[in-house]
Structure formats: structure tokens, C-alpha cells
Amino acid sequence: QVQLVESGGGSVQAGDSLRLSCVYTGTIPSRHYMGWFRQRPGGQREGVASVNQYGGSSVSDSVKGRFTISEDSDEHTLYLQMSSLKPEDTAMYYCAADFRTWYGDTPLTPSMYTYWGQGTQVTVSS
């Protein structure tokens, strides 16, 4: 059974940085892709960034140049480094994973992911 546990959220000021972590446990095959998603109150879940074991990745235009995704497979941890945070980045952030082989740009569509964490809240005030 796969479990994903996010941490690192908090309340910050606009312009600040945060690093989110997602520790995954259970059997994670070498073929996998993982991603970060966010959901604002009353809104739909949207893809932020994703990565696969081949180094392929995707980043949403809304965070490009500000957010960086990375994975430390030895530590079983997925990271999201967020900088130059804006009030519109306020949302619940979720980590997700799937075990299909994927080449090229990794998916940012929630329906392409099977396993989800419980989320960590990020609040950015102006």
C-alpha cells in the first residue's frame, strides 16, 4: 500500500519562499511519475508541477520560474520549492503519484494520478 504524506505548508508573506515535502512509503516501482497539485477554496484541483524517473517534467505556466519540483528517490521524498510567493498561490497543496511509464512531459491532469496525500495548506498574505 502506498502512502503519501505532505508537510512544509504554512502562512507567509508575499515574496517569501516555502519548501513542501512529500514522503512516500510502500512499494514504489521504478516506473513512476509524481506531481504537486493545488486547490483553492471553491475551485478545482489544478496541476502545479510533475516529474518522472527519467527526468521528464512539467510546470504550470502560473508558477513557471518561481516553483521547482524535484525528487530524492533515496529519501523517498518529493519536493516543491516555492519562491516569490503571491497571494493567489494560497491553496491546499497535494502530492500525487502513479505507476505507469511516461516519457516526455509528465501529466498535470489530476485524473492521471492514482495515489494522493492529504494535503498541506499554504497561505500567502499581501
Asked if residue 5 lies in contact with residue 120, where contact means CB atoms within 8 angstroms, the answer is no
Q: What angle do CA 10, 41, 93 make, to 5 degrees?
A: 40
pLDDT one-digit tens code per residue, 24-79? 999 878 778 999 999 998 999 999 999 988 878 999 999 999 999 999 988 999 99
The pairing of beta strand 3-7 with beta strand 18-25: antiparallel
Give the DSSP letter string of 52-66: ETTS-EEE-TTTTTT
Q: What is the pLDDT of residues 90-99, one digit of tens each?
A: 999 999 999 8
